[in-house]
């Protein structure tokens, strides 16, 4: 996965969470995984590259470890409230507003997310899981279609579209890409947090006269 893919994933994830909370609720990771899967599946069918995740059949249906990892990053960065009752913070809302031009330039992917939100955000997590279980997917290795509920555990059921095969892609210009790469950089965030802690401890030591 490229840097551009990771940046696009994080930006689209924020937008998805925002839209789905306007039409319903993103109660937990189970539901978020299914919402991303449904959004990406629609794009893949039309050979469009927005979200770039690989999904496997796991215990509760389609699952991507990278979705969980990206959510952890967004929580650490202060853009998402947590893994339960998943919502954007005011900082994330401000970021999306600053990225309005990028979002407007990628209208296909925005529309796709809004349709996902309108169609599925109202369902409770278990209800959405049951609906997804009834979706039929084509498994290239056995050249056969099968309901997700019947797919063997660990089987790849949706993979990211390659740049070579994509007829359309989520676009970010180079300047914005560099900016967003820094914003979504876990090491940079941790370094900033350490600096803030060190500065706070320094102020305490100055006020008490202790080293």
* In the predicted structure, residue 211 carries a pLDDT above the cut 50: no
Q: For residue range 51-68, what is the model confidence (pLDDT) as tens digits? A: 999 999 999 999 999 999
Per-residue tokens: 68: 């969980």
* In the predicted structure, residue 47 carries a pLDDT above the cut 80: yes
Q: For residue range 96-118, what is the model confidence (pLDDT) as tens digits? A: 999 999 999 999 999 999 999 99
Predicted local distance difference test score (pLDDT) of residue 190: 62
Find the farthest-apart pair of alpha carbons in the chain and give their distance in angstroms, rounded. Answer: 73
* C-alpha span between 185 and 70 (Å, rounded): 11
Q: What is the pTM of this model?
A: 0.88
* In the predicted structure, residue 193 carries a pLDDT above the cut 80: no
Cα–Cα distances (Å) from 192 to 77, 80, 144, 167, in that order, read 10, 18, 50, 39
Cα–Cα distances (Å) from 10 to 13, 141, 157, 197, in that order, read 5, 30, 22, 26
Pick 77 or 187 by higher pLDDT: 77
Give Cα 88 distance to the centre of its chain: 12
Contact, 67 vs 32, CB < 8 A? yes
Q: For residue range 4-15, what is the model confidence (pLDDT) as tens digits? A: 999 999 999 999
- Lowest-confidence region among 34-48, 103-117, 119-133, 177-191: 177-191
The whole domain housing 17 covers 3-208
Q: Closest Cα partner for 148 from 138, 160, 136, 156?
A: 136
Predicted local distance difference test score (pLDDT) of residue 184: 87
* In the predicted structure, residue 188 carries a pLDDT above the cut 60: no
How many structural domains does the chain have? 1
Question: Predicted confidence band at 26 (pLDDT cuts at 50, 70, 90)?
Answer: very high
Q: For residue range 136-185, what is the model confidence (pLDDT) as tens digits? A: 999 987 889 999 999 999 999 999 888 899 999 999 999 999 999 988 88
């Amino acid at each position: 996965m490229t840097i551009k893919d990771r940046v696009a994933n994080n930006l689209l994830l924020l937008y998805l969470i925002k839209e789905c909370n306007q039409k319903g609720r993103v109660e937990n990771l189970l539901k978020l995984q299914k919402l991303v899967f449904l959004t990406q599946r629609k794009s893949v069918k039309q050979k469009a590259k927005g979200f770039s995740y690989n999904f496997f059949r796991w215990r509760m249906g389609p699952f991507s470890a990278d979705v969980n990892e990206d959510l952890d990053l967004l929580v650490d960065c202060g853009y998402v409230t947590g893994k339960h009752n998943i919502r954007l913070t005011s900082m994330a809302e401000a970021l999306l507003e600053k990225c309005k031009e990028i979002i407007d330039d990628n209208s296909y992917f925005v529309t796709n997310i809004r349709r996902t939100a309108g169609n599925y955000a109202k369902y409770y997590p278990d209800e959405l899981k049951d609906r997804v279980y009834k979706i039929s997917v084509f498994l290239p290795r056995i050249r056969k279609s099968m309901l997700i509920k019947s797919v063997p555990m660990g089987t790849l059921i949706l993979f990211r579209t390659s740049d070579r095969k994509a007829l359309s892609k989520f676009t970010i210009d180079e300047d914005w890409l560099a900016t967003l790469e820094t914003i979504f950089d876990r090491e940079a965030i941790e370094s900033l947090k350490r600096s803030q802690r060190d500065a706070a401890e320094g102020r305490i030591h100055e006020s008490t006269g202790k080293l």
